Amino acid sequence: MSNGIIAADPVRSAFREYYFKRAEMIEPPSDIEKREFGYMQFGGRGMARHLSFRTTGELIATLITQVPSDVYCSNALYRFPTLPMQEKQWLGADLIFDIDGKDLHLPCVSSHSYHCCASCGHVSAPSEDEYSVCNVCGSNKDERIVIPCGKCIEGSKREAMRLHEFLMTDLGIDKLNIHIYFSGNNGFHFHIQDDSYRPLDSQARSDLVGYLMGIGLLVESIGIRKSPGSDNSFVKFPKSGLQAGWRRRVADKLRIDTTSAMRLTNIVKEIGGYSAFKSELEKMTRELGVRIDPQVTTDIHRVFRMPGTLNSKSGLAKVKVRDIESFDGFSDACLLGDAKVKVKLKVPAKVRLRGENYNISKETAELPAYAATYFICKGLALAI
C-alpha cells in the first residue's frame, strides 16, 4: 500500500542511520516534558501514544533504538502527558497550520498519480482516464500514489507564502514567531511560537481558520447594503475605509476604493443584484483565502509530525524552511544516505532527488538509499 507502514529492512536501516548520524536535525518542542509523544513502527499497526520525554537526549536515544517510521508530538501542553486524555490536564496548545498539496486539487495531479489496487496491490501507471477496475483482479477499490511534480510544489509554496502574508499583516504575528516546515512529503506546516495563542479553544481556532480561508465575509463589510423590501442594493462604505484585511483584498480584486461608489453599484447590478453579488463574493473570498486543513488547526489535542524526523510516505525529512521561494524539498529534505540498494519496480517511475533525475523503466535497478527509499515508501518498488 502506498501510504501504509513499509516493512523493508533497507528502509529501516536508512532511517536508523539518519537518526544516528543526523541527531542535530531533531528539533524537539519547547516545554518538552509537558508534551505527549507518539510514534509508529515499521510493520506495526497503530501508534504508540501517551509517551513522555524529559530531555532531548532521551528522545534521540529512543529514535535510534526504536527506529520509528513516523514520530509525532502534541501541539498541546499537559500537566500529566502520559495519562489518558481525560486525565492529562490540558494547559494550552501551540497554533499550527497545515498546507497539503492534495487539498489544492491541481490539474496536473492525474498525470503523475499511480493507482494501487486495494485488493491485490497491483500498481497502474499514471493515466488521464478515471480509474475504474484493477487490470489484475477486477477490484474497483484503489489507493492513489502521488509523486508531486514541480507544479505541485510551486502550488504549495504559493499557498504557504499567502498564509505567511495573512499571519503577519492580518493577525499581526511577528515574523520571528512564525516557523515554517516542509512536511516531508507534499506540503508545509506552520508552527506559531506565540504564547498569546496557546489558551485558544477549538472554537476560537475555528474562527481563525474561517477568516484565513475567506469564509463568511459579509457584503456589508465592503459597503454593499440591501435595500429594504427588495434585492436591490446601495453603497455606503465603512468609515474605517477599505485599506486593510479582507476589505483591501476584495477592493483590489474589484479595483475599487472609497471614491468608487458608482463603479461598485454598477458591478452589483451587472452581477444580478444583492443576492447574486453575495454568492459571487463568497466564491471570490474562497479563491483569495488560504487552503489549509481546518482539522489540524482546530484540534487542540492533536499529535503532529515532529520537526527533523522522517516521513514514511517519502523518506524525506520534515525540515525548517528559511526561504520559501528558494526551498527545494526534493533536495533540502532528502537527507538519507547514498549506499546502494537494489529494488524491483512495480511500474516505471520517475522522480528528481538532489538534483538528479531517476527515471526507472527497467524492472530492477540499483539506486542510492535515498532514491530507493523514496520509491519503496511510495509503494512503487520493493527491496530485493
Q: Give residues with Cβ within 8 angstroms of 61, minimum separation 6.
A: none
Q: What is the C-alpha to C-alpha distance for residues 65 and 49, in angstroms, rounded to an integer?
A: 17
Distance, in Å, from the CA atom of 174 to the CA atom of 161, rounded to the nearest integer, reads 15
Reading the block at residue 191, the C-alpha cell is 508552527
Q: How confident is the model at residue 128 (pLDDT cuts 50, 70, 90)?
A: low
CA 95, 189, 89: angle at the middle one, nearest 5? 35
Cβ pair 152, 106 in contact under 8 A: yes
CB 16 within 8 A of CB 42: no
Which tens digits make up the pLDDT trace of 333-378? 999 999 999 999 999 999 999 999 999 988 999 999 999 999 999 9
The cell numbers describing 13, all together, are 536501516
Query: Is residue 100 classed as helix, strand or coil in its secondary structure?
Result: strand
Mean pLDDT of 262-291: 94
pLDDT at 273: 92
Annotated catalytic sites, by residue? 98, 100, 293
C-alpha cell at 185: 512529503
Question: Over the stretch 76-110, which tens digit does the pLDDT of each residue have?
Answer: 999 999 999 999 999 999 999 999 998 898 999 88
Alpha-carbon span 279 to 222, nearest angstrom: 14
Please identify which residue in the block is written with the cell numbers 454568492: 279
Q: How confident is the model at residue 174 (pLDDT cuts 50, 70, 90)?
A: very high
Residues 6+ apart with CB under 8 A from 122: 116, 134, 135, 136, 137, 346
Q: How many helices (H) and strands (E) does the chain have?
A: 10, 20
DSSP letter string, 297-355: HH-TT-EEEPTT-B-TTTS-B-EE-S-TTT--HHHHT--S---EEEEEESS-EEEEETT
User: pTM here?
Assistant: 0.89
